[in-house]
Amino acid sequence: MNSQASPKILFNQQEIETAVKKLAAEITEDYQDKNPLLIGVLKGAFVFMADLIRLLDFHLEIEFIRLSSYGQGRITPGELKVEQGILSQIRDREVLIVEDIVDTGYSAAFLLDYLGKEKPASLKFCALTDKPSRRKVPVNIEYRGLTVPDKFLVGYGLDCDEKFRNLPYIGYLESRD
């Protein structure tokens, strides 16, 4: 990898594992015997989702949903579209949205509103990381992993222009933001 672009480590593998285990314990407490539907938000949440579900020792189902903005850069309200529908599966299910990061909150607020219209039995939100300093709209995050500073994070699924998702740690890029 280009050393010039090496991110600074914010959370190493062990710190991430500890956070994921804690979330898995909380989710187990609330969802075992409920056969929940976990909906991962692509692409960023796929690494977290893969680690999380292997710590959940009860029946569950998974789906993925993808949001994309029409333009380049950060998502703003009105620029969201859902590319992959899973709406028919939601009614009367215990649904848990699984995200990599909540930044402005626009994506999370949109998803909660959008999926909530399909009448799930319950709808909650799990985020591995939370950047509260950037919040523009309030979001209820029932399962929160790591609170992070206002830096652009990469690794463990998180990308910068599609790069760095494969890093086993979460780091930040100093040149961005």
Alpha-carbon gap, residue 157 to 47, rounded angstroms: 5
Stretch that binds Mg ion, among 78-86, 99-107, 140-148, 169-177 (CB under 5 A): 99-107
- Asked whether position 7 contacts ligand IMP by CB under 6 A, the answer is no
For ligand IMP (CB under 6 A), the number of binding residues is 17
Tokens of 62: 């998974």
Alpha-carbon gap, residue 26 to 100, rounded angstroms: 17
Task: Rule CB under 6 A: choose which of 101, 111, 112, 167 binds ligand IMP.
Answer: 101
Q: Closest distance between ligand IMP and the C-beta of residue 132, in Å?
A: 11
Q: Taking CB under 6 A as the criterion, which residues in 155-174 touch ligand IMP?
A: 158-159
The answer for residues whose C-beta is within 8 angstroms of residue 68's C-beta and 6 or more apart is 80, 81, 83
- Side by side, the strands of the sheet bearing 153-154 are 8-11, 170-172, 153-154
Task: Rule CB under 6 A: choose which of 69, 89, 104, 122 binds ligand IMP.
Answer: 104
Question: CA dist 102 to 14, 31, 152, 164, 169, Å?
Answer: 22, 22, 12, 18, 18
- Asked whether position 106 contacts ligand IMP by CB under 6 A, the answer is yes
- 69 contact choice in Mg ion, ligand IMP, none (CB below 5 to 8 Å, kind-dependent): none
> Hey, how many other C-beta atoms are within 10 angstroms of the C-beta on 135?
16
Nearer to ligand IMP, 59 or 74 (CB): 74
Q: What amino acid positions are annotated as catalytic residues?
A: 103
Q: Which residues contribute to the site for ligand IMP (CB under 6 A)?
A: 41, 44, 75, 99-108, 152-153, 158-159
